[in-house]
Structures are given as structure tokens and as C-alpha cells.
Structure 1
């Protein structure tokens, strides 16, 4: 059975100016009402002053990229914000893209996410990545150089606590036995995990271990057709099964001169992204608060997604 392509919208929960949290929640409610599949938000616990590092692919940034705020930008904590969204919506899925999961203590993060899943009726998606900013790891007492292993460790603990009634876990970082954490997530097998990264063996192994849901990063975003084929091969090379790989495709909400949403221009990349293997089209940019414009976007997307590619 072919999986129905989904439409997700990023909600900007950050700003160099004061944040209008009420407007953000109202926009999320409008997304919910018109049938957007998923709202996703990003994450920074702290910001250092070396923001140029965002453009350095060698440490996890993206070439030519620019950090969207200065060091004193306001960033809402994503899990707290999405809990508020869960309380004021009924069907839209709640995603992070991405959460710097390794910066949180694993057992606490597992409890927070399980609670969100219960409160939302099983609507949580966890998108994770290692990030690019050394200062965030230093601020919580962790080594930036260990960020990949720290992420894997965090996800290992979460999955143990989500799926085992009497949890046991052992690693160089942490060991426990006979640990009970309830309630479990509503979703069978725990909360779905989306892994961000470029095409490489470490990311392929993470996908094969924690669920084949991929958020492409770097060159993979703009060369998605080649990247999907390469990632499927990389997953197979590490012993995983790439046959059900879910893939984020990235598009942008384009605006007209009067500031309204340009539906046609926004949807123009969608056929190519779907043909490349994307299963979830995530639109970056500021979503309109006007429910009518949101409804037109969703209806246009559904029409494209229902046509043979």
C-alpha cells in the first residue's frame, strides 16, 4: 500500500523581536482546522556568539546557511510549546525539526515525550539531530566532539523506557535495571523518530536503528533524488532495510508582493520532490494566519499528491 504524502508546516517559534505566542498558537489551530498533517518547530537551548559556524558543514552546519537570529534572539522551548499546541488542537501531528535531544537527560526526555504523546492522543513525532553549535554542548557540560554518540545514547534510553515494562539498559554512559516509567507513549513501539543528517554511514546506521524516517541536510536537500538513492544504499550497507524509508522534502512558502501567500509558486516544487521519493513535504517560511489561504495550500497539495507522479 502506497503511503499518502503528507504536508507539514514549520512554525517560527523564534524571533529577534518580542514573540507573539498567542498568534503562533492561533496559527497552529488554523493549520489543524484546515487539515495540515504536521506542525514542526526548531530548537536552541542557548546561543553563543560564533553564529558564523552555522555555515560550516565540517561541524554540522550547511554551506551558505545563516543563523536566523542573533545571539539574543528569542527561542521558545519546543516541547513546552508543542504541549500548548496539543492542548488547543485535535488532529495535527506535533513535530520537532530538529530537537537537540542529546542536550537533555535521556530519562527526563523520555518522560516528557511520553506525557506529550498521552496528552495529545498519540500525535508526537520526534525529529532529532546533532546540531552545529559547540556552545550549546558546553553550556550543559557535554563534549561537542561526542555529540553523535550522545544522541544515540539518548535515543537508546528513550526507546528502552518507552517499550520495556521493566526497563534494562547498559552502556558506557549509563546502566540501570528494573526501572519502571509509566505511562508509555500511546503510539505502538514508542514515538516515531525522524533523523536529520547528510548521507553518511553514521546517519544510515542511526536510521536503521531508530526508524527509517529521514530529514535530509546539506546538499541532500537540493539534490534529493540522488540523495534518496544514496541513503537507501547506505542503509542497506549497514545491514538495515531501506524499503520503507520516509523522507522529508523541503519547500518554501512563497509570498506575493502584497504579502499574501503565492499558492502556485509555493506548490511548484512539490511534484519533483514527490518523484524524488519525498513522503512528507515540509514548508519553511512564515505560514499565513488566514485559514482560507491555508486551506487553499492544503487543497492544492492534496490534488498534486493524488495525481500519479
Structure 2
């Protein structure tokens, strides 16, 4: 049976990079975050996502901001106020923490949420963040590779696990509670050749970091060449900012606007490329306008989303 293009959302408020933060988010907090997550839950979104940074150095603060909620705490909070939407870390910088600690936190989250976790991981890019935590920034790619192997063991069905590697070595240590899912999906983020290769060989899915549409076919082809079992793999994309309908204010030149049919046609082009899920973001001037956009998207655009191309 062909898969229909799924849609998810990176939550506002919890990360406030100057690249995408809306002015209303600067004074928002838990109440607004919960309202958006609940709207996405009701509107059939596949997931809500939360970013990960521990601390931002002063040299990057003007561009990135310093508001970055902890993903485990945030997703656990949202798990308690939603019912069906999945919970995605997009992305957890796995190399900043020992994999046994990461496994403990996310296994607990999956257990408490009834099996709704998708673990998205990435290598990270802020050198000072690694240095402050005593982690070698130059080895972050190699460490992530081994961390992925360790997490697959520690997040599996068995309570007692053993892992032996260059960076992490633990043997026959029991951890409970176990994840509710027999297999927690692990999606790998990043668009460099190394990240794409890592996703293909070690992940259950790929989370590109802003690849334009014309670059996706080459990236997807590279994954297909590397991966034998394509049927169990989820390809993602991040769509251009959206506004359902005709906005009565200046939403910017690079925003997709229009009727539900027009937006669905644009998004379905991703599915024709072989994308399985597309992450959407809406321009908004208030939390109320954002939740209205989410509901309208779920009611009017989502039913028009078509099947994903099953290219071999």
C-alpha cells in the first residue's frame, strides 16, 4: 500500500534562532507551547519536534539567540498534554552526553508517552558547547557514529545490554523502564556527505537541514545507493514557510501562500521526489494565528496530500 506524505512541525517558542523566530515568541512560554502542540495533535500532524543546545557562546548569541529548551524535559511535558502526535528530537546532539545517559532519558520518555518517541540525532556545530562539557569537538562525527551503535543496543528490547567500542564501553548493565516501542526509530540529521552516509547506514530516517528542493534528488539517490533495505527508511524535507490562504500582512517573498489546493500541489512535489515526511512552518503574528493556521492546514490541506513516490 503506498504511503501518503506525512507532515510534522518544529515547535515555536522552544528554540528562538533569529533566522526563524516570530516576534510574538519572544514573550511566550509554556502556555503557548502547549497550545501549539495540542493544535498539532488535533490536526493530525505526524510529530512535534524540539531542538537541542545546552549553551550558546556570546559570539553566536545575536544569530542563534540563547533560548533553547531542553528536548527531553520539553517533550515529556508535551507528552502529558497530547494524545497521539509523535515526539521528535530534531536534533539531539548525541555526542554531548554519554549514550547510556541518553538511552536512560529517551527510554523513559518513550515509556511515559506510550511509545511516541522518534529520536533524531546530529553531530552538532557549536565548538564552545563541546568544550564547556569536556567533549572533543574535532571527533564529533566519529563519536556520533559510535554513539548510534551504542544507542541501538541500549534502546533495544533487552534490559541487560553490552557494548564495546572505542569511546564507550559498558557491559551487562540493566536499565529500566524499557521503551514502550520494540524499536525506537532513529532519524539522523544533517546534509553533509558524512551525515547523509551516516543516515543511510546507521539510521531509520534522514532529517535534512534546509536542503533546497533541487538538491534533494541527489541526496536521496546517495542514500538509495548506500542502503539495502529502503522500505524501512523515512526521508524527510523541510518545506518553505507557509501561510494557508491570502495573508493580510507582509509574510515575506519566500513564503508559500494560497488556497489549500495550491499548497498541496507544492508539497506533493516533495512526495514525487521520494520524500516521506515534510516539516512545515507557518508565518504568524500570534499564537492564536498560528494555531488557526495549523487547524486549517490539517482540515483543508492535509486531505489533499498524495502518495510518496516508490522509486527504486
Question: C-alpha separation between the residues in 2 aligned to 1:34 and 1:219?
Answer: 26
Is the contact made by 2:4 and 2:276 (CA closer than 8 Å) also made in structure 1? Answer: yes
Is the contact made by 1:5 and 1:281 (CA closer than 8 Å) also made in structure 2? Answer: yes
Relative to structure 1, the CA distance from residue 194 to residue 307 in structure 2 (aligned partners, 3 Å threshold; closer, same or farther) is closer
Say which of 20, 23, 37 aligns to 2:29: 20
Where 1:125 maps in the other structure, the secondary structure is: strand
Relative to structure 1, the CA distance from residue 231 to residue 140 in structure 2 (aligned partners, 3 Å threshold; closer, same or farther) is same
Relative to structure 1, the CA distance from residue 292 to residue 48 in structure 2 (aligned partners, 3 Å threshold; closer, same or farther) is closer
Say which of 60, 64, 69 aligns to 2:64: 69
User: Per-residue displacement from partner, 1:162-193 (whole Å, max 9, x unpaired)?
Assistant: 2233211111222222211112111112x211
Say which of 235, 241, 255 aligns to 1:247: 235
In the other structure, the counterpart of 1:200 is 193
Question: C-alpha separation between the residues in 2 aligned to 1:155 and 1:19?
Answer: 34
Question: C-alpha separation between the residues in 1 aligned to 2:250 and 2:73?
Answer: 30
Moved over 4 A (4+): 218-222, 259-263, 265-268, 285-288
1:182 aligns with 2:176: yes
TM-score (norm: length of structure 1): 0.83
1:39 aligns with 2:48: yes
Where 2:57 maps in the other structure, the secondary structure is: coil
**Offset of 1:104 from its aligned partner?**
1.6
Q: Unaligned regions of 5+ residues in structure 1, if any?
A: 53-66
- After alignment, is 218-227 or 19-28 more displaced? 218-227
Q: CA RMSD in A?
A: 2.7
Where 2:294 maps in the other structure, the secondary structure is: helix
**Offset of 1:123 from its aligned partner?**
0.5
Q: Unaligned regions of 5+ residues in structure 2, if any?
A: 19-25
Is the contact made by 1:18 and 1:74 (CA closer than 8 Å) also made in structure 2? Answer: no
Say which of 144, 147, 170 aligns to 2:140: 147
Question: C-alpha separation between the residues in 1 aligned to 2:42 and 2:195?
Answer: 39
1:228 aligns with 2:229: no
**Offset of 1:294 from its aligned partner?**
1.9
**Offset of 1:46 from its aligned partner?**
0.7
Relative to structure 1, the CA distance from residue 174 to residue 8 in structure 2 (aligned partners, 3 Å threshold; closer, same or farther) is same
In the other structure, the counterpart of 2:299 is 299
- After alignment, is 73-82 or 247-256 more displaced? 247-256
Relative to structure 1, the CA distance from residue 303 to residue 43 in structure 2 (aligned partners, 3 Å threshold; closer, same or farther) is same
In the other structure, the counterpart of 1:3 is 3
TM-score (norm: length of structure 2): 0.82
Question: C-alpha separation between the residues in 2 aligned to 1:96 and 1:222?
Answer: 26
Aligned counterparts, 1:16-165, within 5 A:
17-51=26-60, 68-70=63-65, 73-163=66-156, 164-165=158-159
In the other structure, the counterpart of 1:269 is 266
**Offset of 1:207 from its aligned partner?**
2.9
Question: C-alpha separation between the residues in 1 aligned to 2:283 and 2:94?
Answer: 25
Relative to structure 1, the CA distance from residue 27 to residue 114 in structure 2 (aligned partners, 3 Å threshold; closer, same or farther) is same
Is the contact made by 1:128 and 1:194 (CA closer than 8 Å) also made in structure 2? Answer: yes
Is the contact made by 1:249 and 1:281 (CA closer than 8 Å) also made in structure 2? Answer: yes
User: Per-residue displacement from partner, 1:98-146 (whole Å, max 9, x unpaired)?
Assistant: 1111112211110110111111111011111112211111111011111
Alignment: residue pair count: 287
Relative to structure 1, the CA distance from residue 225 to residue 84 in structure 2 (aligned partners, 3 Å threshold; closer, same or farther) is same
